[in-house]
Amino acid sequence: MANFEIGSIDEILNLQPMETVDFDENQDKEWDLLSKILNDDMVMEVTDVSCSTVNDEALREMDKALEAANPVTSPVPYHDDKQKRFESISEEELNELQDNKQSKSTKKNTKWAISVFQEDRLAELLRRFYAEATPRISDKRIEDLNENLAAEYHKNTLKSMRSGINRHLRDLDRDVDIVCGRTFRHANDVLEGKLKQNLRYGVSRPTKHKDVIHTSDLQTISLYLGNDNLVKLRYKVWYDLGLHFVTRGLEFHEQLNTSSFDFHVDENGREYAVLNHETKEKTRQGGLDAREDFADKRMYATNTEKCPLASLKLLLSKTSSEAVSLFNHCSKDALKNPSF
């Protein structure tokens, strides 16, 4: 330990002689007491440390003393699970708030204005399309048709285009009818005028239907078809049903099953067969606007070797009870060898 003296009060304060001032008796006593205390030899004890670390040690001791006198309280830790100030909302609620910036009447008026604008633009585009549309010319098209006919669409093709566009707009949930809508009246007038002009200039082609089966061909088919094997029987029933129920295309036969027919007897005692359900065909697809088919189509028994009713009953008896359709897939072996 090292001992050192602080010194007298006059040396510490570096007091200079002062002018004489009158003090009262009490002040003189207090000054004498203070001088006596400070002039006494005061001894301080200091730890002997190296000169290079005196200042650092002093600073650390001072920091410890300050910390002991003023203890620092640790901050309250932040917890993520603390309740948030603002409540979270979903993306749908955000979109709803954004959508509420306009009133219902404003939205309705905007929708109406856009629809009118779009209909007018579409009507003008269709008006020009009907007048300017021409097919792509190819060597095969020119070979099948003469040059004048090849340069124009068939009338049914233009009608099909218009119907296709109209169906597409309905599929998009658009309240637009380009066939009967008043906005498209001028466009449809152009289409009608175009078709009439093609007819007047001789470039309107007739609708081509399937070739007619001649009577001689029908007789040959009838002679071939019979009940002597199952393959011929299948074709015969297919042929008889097409004739007696006046069907179009191949959609009719694939809708038939083993329970599609009912058998009755008329007032003259003749047996006949009728369909007990409707069938979809090319010109009858069902729906609200579908026209009713003739419900009293019959296929009568002829009591001959080629009786269509007897052939139908024979095919039903030969068909498996687990079969879903009346005309199922034929075995390839059976097609190659009818007696299989």
Cα–Cα distance between 327 and 240 in angstroms, integer? 13
Cα–Cα distance between 45 and 339 in angstroms, integer? 133
Q: Which tokens in the block code for residue 194?
A: 């175009």
pLDDT given for residue 148 in this prediction: 83
pLDDT given for residue 4 in this prediction: 46
Backbone phi, then psi, for 21, in 5-degree steps?
-125, 140
Q: What is the pLDDT along the chain (340 residues), one digit of tens a residue?
A: 444 454 554 554 454 444 444 545 555 555 565 565 555 544 444 444 444 455 667 677 767 766 666 555 555 555 555 566 667 878 888 877 777 776 777 777 666 666 666 788 889 999 999 999 888 888 888 888 888 888 899 999 999 999 998 998 888 888 889 999 998 999 999 999 999 999 999 989 888 887 888 889 988 988 888 888 888 888 899 999 988 888 776 778 888 988 899 999 999 999 999 998 888 776 676 666 656 665 678 999 998 888 999 999 999 998 888 888 888 776 667 666 656 4
Q: Which tokens in the block code for residue 190?
A: 């152009």
What's the predicted TM-score (pTM) here?
0.50
pLDDT given for residue 72 in this prediction: 55
pLDDT given for residue 22 in this prediction: 53
Return the exposure string of 175-213: e unless at least 16 CB atoms fall within 10 Å of the residue's CB, then b. Answer: ebebeebebbeebbebbeebbeebeeeebebeeeeeeee
The tens digit of pLDDT for each residue in 194-241 reads 999 999 999 898 888 878 888 899 889 888 888 888 888 888 999 999
Residue 202 gets the label, from left (phi > 0), alpha (psi -120 to 50) or beta, of left
For the chain, the domains span: 2-15+22-66, 113-201, 215-284+293-336
pLDDT given for residue 1 in this prediction: 47
What is the torsional sign of CA 273, 278, 279, 285? positive
Q: DSSP label at 51?
A: G
- 328: CB partners within 8 A, 6+ apart: 319
The tens digit of pLDDT for each residue in 252-301 reads 888 898 889 999 999 999 999 999 888 877 667 666 665 666 567 899 99
pLDDT given for residue 45 in this prediction: 45
Backbone phi, then psi, for 330, in 5-degree steps?
-80, 150
pLDDT given for residue 309 in this prediction: 93
